[in-house]
Amino acid sequence: MDITDSIILGVIQGLTEFLPVSSSGHLELGKAILGDSSIPKESLLFTVVLHFATALSTMVVFRKDIWLLLKGVIKFEWNEDLQFVSKIALSMIPAVIVGLFFEEQLESLFGANILLVGCMLLVTAALLFLADKAKDTHKKVSFKNAFIIGISQAIAMLPGISRSGATISTSVLLGNDKTRAARFSFLMVVPLIFGKIAKDLLSGELTYEASNFTYLSVGFIAAFVAGLFACTWMISLVKKSKLSYFAIYCAIVGVIAIIYTLAN
């Protein structure tokens, strides 16, 4: 891997973590179109570093919110902040269950499964289009809503379904305020990212070589900066009901993926 590869992969990770286009789906499409040999064989450590960068960019964007939430937890009073943290914890349950008990089945769905990716991108497009047209969006995220949004996050582990797209769309379709929906969607993934990082660290499979420090650092910076941009931009787009642009994009790519599969 060289510096250019690190920057490209970092930017892709930073953007697709927040923009509703499915990073896993695009990776599968890239492998099929370019061939596995054209994509660098990334180490687990590099993946962990990029995920940490995007989690950190989320924390920077929502630093004031996180600080208020932490103060609410420390006080341990059943106020709005502690309730919000409890909702995030509740939303994590479906994804944790899938990750712990169905990891092998989930991984079997990856590996240039272009037809599945294409179909799931169409699902993402439909969700984004419906959410963009939703009118009655003024509620706060309830505990029931949090769990349903968590189910969407678990389903979004399928290649081709965008995590941010699925969770934000589900939240908006449930009648939640669009800005609150984006805030909840981005904050709910932070504990999961750190949980996945912890799992990888404890697995004993991480290896580090001093010669890799440069590309790890460059990849981290690229993912962090791209994440800051994408997270901030996505909040603005959701607020202005601009998700239809991404719906059109996902629909076009999904149709192309399906046609590509049927033609070969």
Which residue, 125, 138, 156, 129, is CA-closest to 258? 125
Instruction: State the sign of the Cα–Cα–Cα–Cα dihedral 155, 157, 159, 160.
Output: positive
Contact 8, 144 (CB under 8 A): no
Q: What would the two tokens of residue 218 be?
A: 């460059």
Distance separating alpha carbons of residues 246 and 253, to the nearest angstrom: 10
**1 is written with which tokens?**
């891997």
Which single residue is written with the structure tokens 């609150």? 180
Note the pLDDT tens digit of each residue in 135-170: 767 888 999 999 999 999 999 988 889 989 999 999
Task: Tell me what pLDDT residue 37 has.
Answer: 47
pTM over 0.75: yes
- The total number of structural domains in the chain stands at 1
d(CA 53, CA 14): 8
The answer to whether 187 and 141 are in contact (CB under 8 A) is: no
* Helix segments in the chain, DSSP class H: 3-16, 23-34, 44-61, 63-75, 80-101, 103-107, 114-133, 143-155, 163-173, 178-203, 213-239, 244-262
Q: How many residues does the chain have?
A: 264
Put residue 42 in one of left, alpha, beta given phi > 0 → left and psi -120 to 50 → alpha: beta
**Closest to 243 measured CA to CA, from 150, 137, 158, 94:** 137
Domain of 169, in residue numbers: 3-262
pLDDT, position 40:
46
Q: What is the pLDDT of residues 98-130, one digit of tens each?
A: 988 887 788 777 666 788 889 999 999 999 999
Q: Residue 1: what pLDDT?
A: 61
Residues of the chain with pLDDT under 50: 37-41
